[in-house]
Structures are given as structure tokens and as C-alpha cells.
Amino acid sequence: MQPRRKFIKTLAGLAAASTARSFAAPEPVLRPPEKPTGFPTMWVGAVTATGGVVKTKIPPGLHPRLLVREAGGEPIIFTAEPQRDPASTVVTFHLEHLRPQTDYLCTLEVNGAPAVFPPAMVRTFSPEGQPANFTFAFGSCARTGSQHAVFNTIASKRPAVLIHLGDLHYVNISRNEPRHFRAAWDTVLSSTTQGALYRNVPLAYIYDDHDFGPNDSDNRNPGRPASRTVYREYMPHYPLPAGDGDAAIHQAFTVARVRFILTDLRSERDAGKTPDGPGKSMMGAAQKEWFKRELLEASRSHGLVVWGSSVPWIGTKSNDSWQDYMDERRELCNFIAQHRIKNLCILCGDAHMLAADDGSHSDYSDSQKLRIPVLHGSAFDQGGSTKGGPFSEGTYLPKSNEGLFGWVEVEDDGQRVAVRFTGRNQNDEVKVDLNFVAA
Ligand SMILES: [Fe+2]
């Protein structure tokens, strides 16, 4: 992959157009209230070119249906998947046989009458394997139930998908009690700004430490079974190679010719304080095998591979990130080098900062020939923190009450994929910028 600082005209034009369209009157920064002021409505994820998943919460004993329609079209009616856990009130609708790149309005009906919930919107992806231009947003870390305006900004830009790299909340649950994890989810979904975002933009989310378990949590977290099980209940996810129930949540999905790989870097990780060595793992053996296979296949069959890592990749100082798993990081880099994978970039969470590296500092292989762009797009709503580095394009920390996110514009001519990353705040002001091309 050749990093390119030169301005990409077409992408710049895209950015300017989207700015003019969506942000004539940006919302003011709101101070997060003590408690979110809404209630869980519907939320959307696991979207593909022909389907998706819509979830909601309904008291038991009622009969919900989802009416899904294109503008001016007749509704397609979907009934809810049978609820497996009687203690859960989450209801799941699997949408299928939809048309690519089409907006579908989803309204809820309960016992034959319209529900009071505002409708959800599903915009299906471009067809898999065909070149297409699209945008996506990413980031991590928001105060529990945050109602920050940054979520409105992201929603108004209509990305194809929002990649959430963890710390969806900071409840730090270490007890193996599903009700605690459910309550945390309900608080997040009761945020008026986050609720509206997740109702209108597909969410693809993996947890990090504070939402998987307590601070700096790992595979010893006593709450691990409840955490991983409730993730499956609440989060509309892509197929999970580790299976149902109490298992890791790594997954992958495709938009056009771009493959997204999301790893679970918490629930299988060995303790960070374990001395580094070839046996120490952040992924666990099974996930790592899957990851390597996925990486190799995706790099050959897709124009660009985007890996979502919930923790920083670049750095040398111990801080609960890849720096504490240096042998495994080197192993992955050697794998990438050995198989000549050149169309990979990495999105990172955890550090509350915007940052970008053009690949100058991200290679830990023995060959020292890799150039893997690394992007940070955090925090949605948290005080600033610097982790790792250095970064070729520098870092930006949020000012007081500033909300940040990563914005990625993908332009694919069928031969090569041009990527423009911008790290932005809630007023859509660009703070960090990097262009590169995946050949
Ligand atoms: Fe965080």
C-alpha cells in the first residue's frame, strides 16, 4: 500500500459536499446529563447488501411485527425470532431479501397496532465484490448513557456503518450477572442522541475493557460468561465463528470490495502482566487462527481490508495495549509480511485521541518492509488520553466536552481503493487527516 499525502481531488470534493449538505447549523456541544433522558427504542446492525437485523425491547406476552418498506412501496412484514432466554425482553427481527443500496423504513407494530416508537432506518450496503464508493464512521469510548451531540453529527452524515471499537459504557461489571449487563445496555440505548444514531445507522460493535468487564479486563473476568452472552442478546452481530453463548465475539463483514475484520481482544486475552513470550496471547489460539485465515483470504479477494482493534497497535510503552503482547504483534506482522499482504489498515480504539500513521511506525516484522496505515478516531465523549505512538500525522486530544470520531471515505475504481481518513469533532471540524491508496 502506498501512503499518499497528495490531496485526492475527488475525495476532497466528496468531503466538501457532505460538509455543506449536513452541517450548515451544527448543534452546540451539550454537557452530558446525569442520566439519559430517553428509552430504548429500536437499533440496527448486521446489515448486508440484502438484509440486516433490527432489535427492540418488548414486554413478554405481546406480539410484535416489523413493517419494512421502501419509499412508496408495500410493506414487507417480518415476525420476531423466538426469544431463547425468558429473562430477556430483547426482540430480534432478521430482515432478508432486500435490495442493495436501498433505504428501508422500519415501523413496529404490537398486537396489530402501531407502536409509539419512532421508525428505524435500514440502508442496505452496496453489493459484495463490486466496486463502490461509500463512507463509514468509527470510534470508541463514551460516558455511560452519554447524550453528546457528536452522535447527532455522525447520524446526520449517514455513514454506511458505524464501527464502535469498545467502551460503549463504563459500568465495569465483574459479576457474572446478565441483569447488570442488560441494565448497562439499556442505559446506553436510553440516550436520546445514541438511541437515534443506532436506530438510523447500522452499528458494528466490539467491546473493550470497561464494557466487557472491569478496567484492563482479560480472560480472568468473573463476569465473562454473562458479558459474552448478553452481547449476543443485545448486539445485532454478524455470524460469530466462535458460536453461541459464552464464546468470543470476533466477526467479519463486507461492504462492496472492503472486508472489515473485528476482533475480540478482551475475553480471550492472557493477563497483561504475564511476562511476554511466544505463548502469551491477546487473541487466544482459536481466534488467532481464524484471524490469520480471514486476513489472508480477504487480502486476496477484496480491495481493502480494515481491521478493528479495540486497543492501540503502535507503541513500545506498557499500557494494556499491543505493547504488552510484543511477541504476538511481531508474529502477526511476520505473517502479513510473509504473505505479502499490502492492502490492510488498522482502526484502533481505547486511546481517547485522534491520530493517524501512514505506516511509518506500525511495522514490527523482522523484515521491516511493511507499511500499514493506523487510524485512531476517539473519544466520542471522554477526557483525552494519549497512548502509544509515534504517529506520522500527529495526535489530537479532545478539549473540554469535545466529542470526536473517525470518518473514512472510500473510493474504489475497481483496481485500487483510495482512502481518506479525517478525525473530526462534533462540529465536523477536521483535526487529523491522512490519505492513502490500497493497490
Ligand atoms: Fe475508553
Q: What pLDDT digit, counting tens, does each position of 84-128 carry?
A: 888 999 999 999 999 999 999 999 999 999 998 899 999 999 999
Give the distance (Å) from ligand 1 centre to CA of residue 83.
32
Give the distance (Å) from ligand 1 centre to CA of residue 65.
37
Give the distance (Å) from ligand 1 centre to CA of residue 327.
25
Give the distance (Å) from ligand 1 centre to CA of residue 211.
9
Is the domain of 178 the same as that of 56? no
Domain membership of residue 412 (yes or no) is yes
Give the distance (Å) from ligand 1 centre to CA of residue 350.
5
**Angle at 261 (CA atoms; ends 355, 369), nearest 5 degrees:** 60
Is the domain of 432 the same as that of 311? yes
Is the domain of 146 the same as that of 266? yes
Strands ordered across the beta sheet of 42-45 = 2-3, 430-438, 417-425, 404-412, 134-139, 162-164, 203-205, 42-45, 52-57, 90-95
Task: Tell me: pLDDT of 5 over 60.
Answer: no
Q: What residues make up the domain containing 292?
A: 2-38+127-438
Q: Within 10 A of 300 (CB to CB), how many other CB atoms are there?
A: 11
Task: Tell me: pLDDT of 362 over 80.
Answer: yes
Among 77, 100, 124, the domain-final residue is: 124
Domain membership of residue 43 (yes or no) is no
pTM of the full structure: 0.92
Give the distance (Å) from ligand 1 centre to CA of residue 134.
27
Is the domain of 263 the same as that of 282? yes
Give the distance (Å) from ligand 1 centre to CA of residue 352.
6
Give the distance (Å) from ligand 1 centre to CA of residue 324.
18
Give the distance (Å) from ligand 1 centre to CA of residue 170.
8
Is the domain of 59 the same as that of 71? yes
Task: Tell me: pLDDT of 431 over 60.
Answer: yes
Q: Write down the pLDDT at residue 33.
A: 53
Q: What pLDDT digit, counting tens, does each position of 381-391 carry?
A: 999 999 999 99
Q: Write down the pLDDT at residue 133.
A: 98
Among 60, 89, 124, the domain-final residue is: 124
Cell numbers linked to 234? 443485545
Tell me the CATH number at 415. Answer: 3.60.21.70
Is the domain of 139 the same as that of 90? no
Give the distance (Å) from ligand 1 centre to CA of residue 393.
22
